[in-house]
Structure 1
Amino acid sequence: MISWRPESPYNELPPLPPKAEVESKRILKLTVEARASLASLDQAAAAMTNPQVLLNTIPLLEAQASSEVENIVTTTDDLFRHAQDETAADPATREALSYRTALLEGFKSVSDRGIVTSNTAMEVCSIIKKHRTDLRTGEGTFIGDPATRKAVYTPPRGRTVIEGKLAAWENFANAPSELDPLVRMALAHYQFEAIHPFDDGNGRTGRILNVLMLVSSGLLRQPVLHHSKYIIGRKTDYYDTLLAVTAEESWEDWVEYMLEAVRATSTSTLSKIGRLQTLQNDVKDWISTSISGAHIALLDVLFEQPYCRISNVMEQCHVSRPTATKWLKALVQNGVLHDMQVGREILFINWRFMDLLINDDPET
């Protein structure tokens, strides 16, 4: 019997793992497929000559999608334009850039510690919100319509209760288990969102923790899983399936949703890597034929960020401003780059790379 009512704090939220069977034959089959896709992505990312190409771009795409799930909307163009300097960025763009920073800092933390902890969650949320975040203490927290005050779900209430449930969540996330790591990640994500430990930023923090759990379990070597894009495309299903676990103990549908998110986004990102390598070879050829004496590091500069500044070429290629300017303008004249005046600065856009990042391969 489920002791839950939408308008009452769910202090009886059961600890994990659930009593219900979650690794049915259907789930195990989906797990194998998701694991295979994720392994292919991990291997392809690890084999890249310059891994910064993915580390500088995929976290930004993930930041945009995960922020959009929470109705914080910015454009990919704005994110990449302000990725190196957010001074002139609008508030939504700055908040999405904070998500990128939180993901990368969380990755460093988990790489050092080897586990995902309650402190990891607090550190990640604090970076997202740009202030020290503590556990929720408010009495009026609920999920639902703020205008009508009609609750769809009310998370556990009371600091001692929240601390206890978060400690149990941490133990489940790290204790030895016979559950597949992907299934465990799905279960832990539900539990974290159900605990809802912070006043704000729980959804974004939870989605970062998903990636960090896969890193800590050895399924990912770099934080290049862009699974929030799947969620934003199926946002209603995401929230409905989460709620169905609480209301109906519908664990299997929830785990299936998360496994498909991993499988689909791994496949999509793997396709991007293949097309990226083709584009890099094409640009390398254009550089060699259109710029006499160009430094090989120029290729890295053009792909570590879709937006390039003259100063980036000067610093990484160790050349003068006139030389860097000449190289970039030659690539504009050949159609490899587009240029754009922003204030007193000129930005050079690797527009084919930008298009590749934004758009999926229609075959995937």
Structure 2
Amino acid sequence: MDIEKLKGSPVGELVPISGYDPRFREEYNCFAFVPSPLPDVLNLSAATYAEVVDASAALARADQAASLLPNPVLLARPATRREAVSTSALEGTYAALSDVFEADFLEEDELTGSVSEVRNYVTAAERAYELIEQGHPITVRLLEDLQAQLLKGTPSDGPLAGSVRTTQVFIGVGNRRVESARFVPPPADHRLTEGLRAWETWVRTNALPTVIRVAAAHYQFETLHPFHDGNGRLGRMVAALQFMSAGDLKHPVLNISPWLEQNRAEYQDGLLQVSQTGQWDKWVSFICAAIHAESLEVGARVENLLALRESFQMTLAGAKGVSLRIADDLIGYPMITASLASKLYGVSYQAANTAIAKLVSLGILRQRSKGRYDRIFQCDSVLAALEY
């Protein structure tokens, strides 16, 4: 960690820490960075505020675009899985979007470790979205539960999962000595718990525009690094929860991780630079760019999906019944089985199977694989539109 660049930080302080590193069987002495509580108001330039206004307007347009769908929830489902893929990739866990959709129909022992971990994110996120829609606030207790789900069945699972860390962590240390870490978060003592308590209160009560609050809250959460694993994924999930909690998004159709994944180095450097300089403009501007870019993606994706839905209806030539209902919902369920169709539409397995066979004959669906209990069918054109 570059101590010289953090010595005079106006948004935190360096504190000495010591401990034992079992990897090298030696004691260590270094410094950790403890961020100050977030201010009520951020000192931003007029240019940055203009970007905030533009990002907020783009976010509103994305929300409006989603409302054009007959059922906006259909867009939220694939959006969550796209987010899961990108946010996990930022942490070095890679899985194809199509494999994550397929995971809904497979047993745990049929999944690779990476797909299982990405699916954990989907499960955690969908639970979090449901709670926010019910009016549940964003709390540390909620994040503890979500963190436990994220780590379920992974190498990081165990007695530490589901609770704020009680040990020191080091970011970017790899196999090197702790003194060479890129960043050292606060010690796992009262400074961490008090910082988290202040963060939770700030997130729930601050009155700044949502875009600014998302940027500031994300910086603070990642700097506190409250868990032994999963902080990046949780911090990015919180951004989506903030949009929903504030009413800027009715459904979780927008996530910024895909853009952050494409701009990984700038993302990581931006977090560190706030700690070093105390300057918020560049960081807020960066998050504005992420929101603006992903908002445009949402609009384009909705347009493409609506066009696909219309083309399916034309191919079915005015048909009615289960096959049309399945086709209409492919934008949210690009993979399906007869069992799932039977459950979704309240028809017999045979009726669902016949409807799927018709969609296969028309080239709308194709068989992807045979699951343990059911054949899995996929719509290639919808998957292509979602991966765009």
TM-score (norm 2): 0.85
- Which residue number in structure 1 is paired with residue 47 of structure 2? 26
Alignment partner for residue 270 of structure 1, among 274, 281, 299? 299
Q: 1:38 to 1:236 in 2, by over 3 A?
A: same
The alpha carbon displacement at 1:161 in A equals 1.4
Q: 1:280 to 1:157 in 2, by over 3 A?
A: same
Alignment partner for residue 95 of structure 2, among 74, 81, 96? 74
Separation in 1 of the partners of 2:222 and 2:118? 20
- Which residue number in structure 1 is paired with residue 184 of structure 2? 154
The alpha carbon displacement at 1:197 in A equals 0.4
Separation in 2 of the partners of 1:317 and 1:305? 13
- Which residue number in structure 2 is paired with residue 115 of structure 1? 137
Q: Secondary structure at the match of 2:368?
A: strand
- Which residue number in structure 2 is paired with residue 341 of structure 1? 369
Q: Show CA shifts across 1:212-264 (max 9, x none).
A: 11111111111111210001001011001111111122321111111111110
- Which residue number in structure 2 is paired with residue 124 of structure 1? 146
- Which residue number in structure 2 is paired with residue 104 of structure 1? 126
The alpha carbon displacement at 1:300 in A equals 4.1
One-letter amino acid of the structure 2 residue matched with residue 226 of structure 1: N
Separation in 1 of the partners of 2:100 and 2:106? 10
- Which residue number in structure 2 is paired with residue 306 of structure 1? 334
Separation in 2 of the partners of 1:176 and 1:170? 10
Say yes or no: does 1:198 pair with 2:219. Answer: no
- Which residue number in structure 1 is paired with residue 359 of structure 2? 331
TM-score (norm 1): 0.91
Q: Is the 8 A contact 1:65 1:228 kept in 2?
A: yes
Q: Is the 8 A contact 2:309 2:328 kept in 1?
A: no
Runs of 5+ unmatched residues, structure 1: 360-364
One-letter amino acid of the structure 2 residue matched with residue 358 of structure 1: E
One-letter amino acid of the structure 2 residue matched with residue 101 of structure 1: T
Say yes or no: does 1:62 pair with 2:83. Answer: yes
Q: Which moved more, 1:100-109 or 1:264-273?
A: 100-109
- Which residue number in structure 2 is paired with residue 10 of structure 1? 33
Say yes or no: does 1:254 pair with 2:283. Answer: yes
- Which residue number in structure 2 is paired with residue 172 of structure 1? 202
Q: Is the 8 A contact 1:17 1:187 kept in 2?
A: no
Q: Which moved more, 1:300-309 or 1:98-107?
A: 300-309
Q: Secondary structure at the match of 1:10?
A: strand
Equivalences, count: 354
Say yes or no: does 1:45 pair with 2:75. Answer: no
Runs of 5+ unmatched residues, structure 2: 1-7, 17-29
Separation in 1 of the partners of 2:266 and 2:107? 33
- Which residue number in structure 2 is paired with residue 94 of structure 1? 116
Q: Secondary structure at the match of 2:369?
A: strand
Q: Which moved more, 1:143-152 or 1:161-170?
A: 143-152
Aligned Cα root-mean-square deviation (Å): 2.2
Q: Is the 8 A contact 2:313 2:328 kept in 1?
A: no
Q: 1:312 to 1:300 in 2, by over 3 A?
A: farther
The alpha carbon displacement at 1:299 in A equals 2.6
Q: Taking every aligned residue pair, what percent have the same amino acid on both sides?
A: 28
One-letter amino acid of the structure 2 residue matched with residue 30 of structure 1: E
The alpha carbon displacement at 1:196 in A equals 0.3
Q: Is the 8 A contact 2:74 2:329 kept in 1?
A: no
The alpha carbon displacement at 1:85 in A equals 3.5
Q: Is the 8 A contact 1:118 1:170 kept in 2?
A: yes
Q: Secondary structure at the match of 1:288?
A: coil
Say yes or no: does 1:209 pair with 2:238. Answer: yes
One-letter amino acid of the structure 1 residue matched with residue 209 of structure 2: D
- Which residue number in structure 1 is paired with residue 23 of structure 2? none
